[in-house]
Amino acid sequence: MGLSRLTQLFHSLVHFIMDPRHLNESHMLVFSKDVYRGTASSVDNILREINSFLQYGLGHIIVRGVEYCKCRKTKSRPWEHEFLIVTVKESTSRGRTAYLMVDRLVDDTKEYPDGQDGLLADLAQHRDESDAEAADTSSTDESDVEADPTVEPATTSSPSKLTAWHSPSRLQRSGAKVKRITKGNAPYALDRLMIFPDRKGIKRELGKTKFEILMTMDLTRSDNSSPVALEHLTHILQTTSRNTPHYHYIFAQCYWFAYTIWKILEMEMHPHIDVHTRRPRHCVCSAYPKAAVLGRGASVDTARTPETVKMQWDAERTRRDEEWAALALASQSDRHRAEEADRRAEEDHRRAEEDRRRAEEAHHRGEEAHRRAEEAHHRGEEAHRRAEEAHHRGEEDRRRAEEAEAQVRELQAKLEASERHVGSASAV
């Protein structure tokens, strides 16, 4: 049965669909620190665009455990919503872990055709018919199930054997009930797949809604040596959604969705299962005073039993595996081409850097030659200046020498004149 708050969150799903181009490749969507809200199909579509997942995550993100959860009944929420918590872990050296929440919601903007009273009446009719059918088949039933139809054979810690859900007469009556009880146009179901980095995120998502774990499935303790990878799980979810895309309050609600996926994994893997309740409470709706079993057993017709859905999944597995393999190969080819392009770009960059370095060296050598030429020119000018100074000093020395000679001649002339004057005076 739907949780109103969760349904409102899902109505905003379109706002949470991520563009693969904006994702951190190393997170592969699954191991992001942010909560992802979407569907199995949206997760598939995103993973197909993430090269790191195709190269390193495909086949290596393994389902390790599943918990079958049931929300507690309250006055405001009489419908005990059921969902699965799936633990996935990398089988590679990084060993990262993520937690997936899987459930089916109903568009709660669309009411049951006859309202709540009509739904309760149909539940009562369904329960009464289930009681009558149980009485009809009690003489041929090989199990030791008690008269209480809320009880099915308890699952032990070892892999359980599958039991037949219906006799032909019960199948016919079940099909008739679908037509009789399902009134109007059934709304499409909102089948969610949410991814959390830790378990605390699931509790935050549920808010004040309390839940208990009814059963746990340990796929690390399994008879099947081939693990269920993330891409296999999303395929199971998609197959289950496609089997019955509409939400039926009695025949294909959250109980049916969670239980069908659980049983497919159980049939495929034969894992170790622990049941945490005295009596099986999964798929038991206690909203009506007399509890009814919904989504499993006699309430499910042959077209939507876990066996049928598993057959549909099995029929598509080879094709899907081939699609994933082709995507991985294309991604590898793209990676090689990208690496080759990066190598060539790096080589071109290296050559350009080498050319730039050589040009800079040539420029430096030119500048050095120019500097040396300027220094030589400066030295020449300095030599010329010194030569001119020497020339000027020589000219000055010559001038002074000439002046000195002139003074000497002048003094000699004066001396001679003086001597002549003295000689003339003596003669007189």
Averaged pLDDT of the chain: 80
pLDDT at 362: 92
The phi-psi region of residue 196 (left if phi > 0; otherwise alpha if psi is between -120 and 50; otherwise beta) is beta
Q: Is the pLDDT of residue 136 over 70?
A: no
Q: Strands 82-90 and 97-106, how do they pair?
A: antiparallel
Banded model confidence at residue 108, pLDDT cuts 50, 70, 90: low
Q: Is the pLDDT of residue 169 over 50?
A: no
Per the document, the length of the chain is: 428
Banded model confidence at residue 119, pLDDT cuts 50, 70, 90: low
pLDDT at 121: 60
Q: Quote the pTM value.
A: 0.66
Most confident of 22-26, 339-343, 364-368: 364-368
Banded model confidence at residue 154, pLDDT cuts 50, 70, 90: very low
Q: Token pair of 271, please?
A: 């894992």
- Domain ranges for the chain, please list them: 4-304, 317-423
pLDDT (average), residues 163-191? 49
Banded model confidence at residue 114, pLDDT cuts 50, 70, 90: low
Question: How far is it, in rounded angstroms, from Cα 383 to Cα 380?
Answer: 5
| pLDDT tens by residue, 259-310 | 999 999 999 999 999 999 877 889 988 866 677 888 898 878 899 999 999 9
The SS3 assignment for 407 reads helix
Rg (CA), the chain: 48
| pLDDT tens by residue, 62-106 | 999 999 999 988 776 767 899 999 999 999 888 999 999 999 998
Percent of the chain at pLDDT above 90?
Answer: 50
